[in-house]
Amino acid sequence: MLRREPASTLVFRLISGFFALTGAIVCVFPFIVIISGSFTDNMTILHKGYSILPRDFSLEAYKTIFKAPQDILQAYLMTTYYTVVGTAIGLFTTTLCAYVISRNEFKYRNNVSFLIYFTSIFGGGIIPWYLMYASVLNLKGSTLAIWFPALTSPFLIILMRTFIKDAVPDAITESAKIDGAGHVTIFFKIVLPVLGPGLATVGLFLALGYWNDWYRSSMFSTSSKTWELQFYLYNLLNAQTAIKQMAQNSGLSHITELPTESVKMAMAVVATGPVLLFYPFVQRYFVSGITIGAVKG
């Protein structure tokens, strides 16, 4: 016999479902407007504003972005390279560091943990950071300067350490030591196999950080061949704005009609498209990984 749920439970589900649906619409609505704006004529946006559906359909924004397909393809390839290499190496270093400070037998784990946490509160500043990579390490102009500084962060190390302590009880590692296993064996054969959600969560944070970055290219790139996608689009937009400003000052009205507003929307679509395709594959791991330590039991 099926048990009938109390009326209060049904009311709670309806209210929570309503707020969840409202939140989803609020999150999706801006991106719908962005897509619509990217396919709308630039003058229509300037005079009538943005809309949910494209008005005066136009592909000028995308034609402007892909006017030099080899350049944007190069930017895509470099960003993919930075993302794949940085995420892979960053996952390994983050997990290895988190494993070390999660071991009770490591004598200096509290001191090391404090130093890691301290860097999340206090930093040397942008000038010493730049001088370290550009002058001391002499990495300016190399691709290493783009992906190396973002390999890990205190937040990701602490997150992974928490996941390791919850997913791998001390009793398991102690049993493995009794059987003669060393830390290398424990790390690769016991710890890593159960870190799926944690690796997916940290990997997503790292990948998004690399994909959305433009700042390191502006600091260390000396050639357009090493530009990240975001920095390439940033420079393209700046060039459009500069040309439009010069045309206004010179009285060239036909150049002032460059699709700057619709280009901004198209840039957002071009930059976020691959992320939207990738995210559903790691979403379930991300949700379970980000809530590690939220509920004990």
Q: Summarize pLDDT for 156-205 with one digit per residue, the tens.
A: 999 899 888 888 888 888 888 888 888 888 888 888 888 888 888 888 88
Q: What is the pLDDT of residue 297?
A: 41
Distances in Å between the alpha carbon of 296 and those of 37, 159, 183? Answer: 46, 15, 27
Confidence of residue 149 (pLDDT cuts 50, 70, 90): very high
Q: Summarize pLDDT for 101-146 with one digit per residue, the tens.
A: 988 888 888 899 898 888 888 877 888 899 999 989 999 989 999 9
Q: In 3-state terms, what secondary structure has residue 233? A: helix
Query: How many other C-beta atoms can be found within 10 angstroms of the C-beta atom of residue 51?
Result: 14
Confidence of residue 296 (pLDDT cuts 50, 70, 90): very low
**Helical ranges in the chain per DSSP H:** 7-38, 42-48, 60-65, 69-102, 109-119, 126-131, 144-147, 154-167, 170-178, 183-186, 196-211, 215-220, 229-250, 260-290
Q: Summarize pLDDT for 154-163 with one digit per residue, the tens.
A: 999 998 998 8
Q: Answer yes or no: is pLDDT of 95 > 90.
A: yes
What CA–CA distance (Å, rounded) separates 210 from 227? 12
What CA–CA distance (Å, rounded) separates 141 from 219? 9
What token pair was written down for 220?
Answer: 């260390």
Question: Is residue 204 classed exposed, middle or buried when 0-12, 13-18 and 19+ CB atoms within 10 A define those classes?
Answer: buried
218 or 2, higher pLDDT: 218
Least confident of 7-21, 74-88, 204-218, 239-253: 239-253
Written as one string, the DSSP assignment of 18-30 is HHHHHHHHHHHHH
260 or 65, higher pLDDT: 65
Of 104, 98, 70, which Cα lies nearest the Cα of 225? 70
Mean pLDDT computed over 45-71: 85
Beta-ladder partners of 131: none
Distances in Å between the alpha carbon of 56 and those of 37, 47, 62? Answer: 10, 12, 15
Q: What percent of the chain has pLDDT over 70?
A: 87
Q: Answer yes or no: is pLDDT of 64 > 60.
A: yes
Mean pLDDT computed over 9-24: 88
Q: What is the pLDDT of residue 175?
A: 86
Q: What is the pLDDT of residue 206?
A: 92
- The CATH code belonging to domain 60-290 is 1.10.3720.10
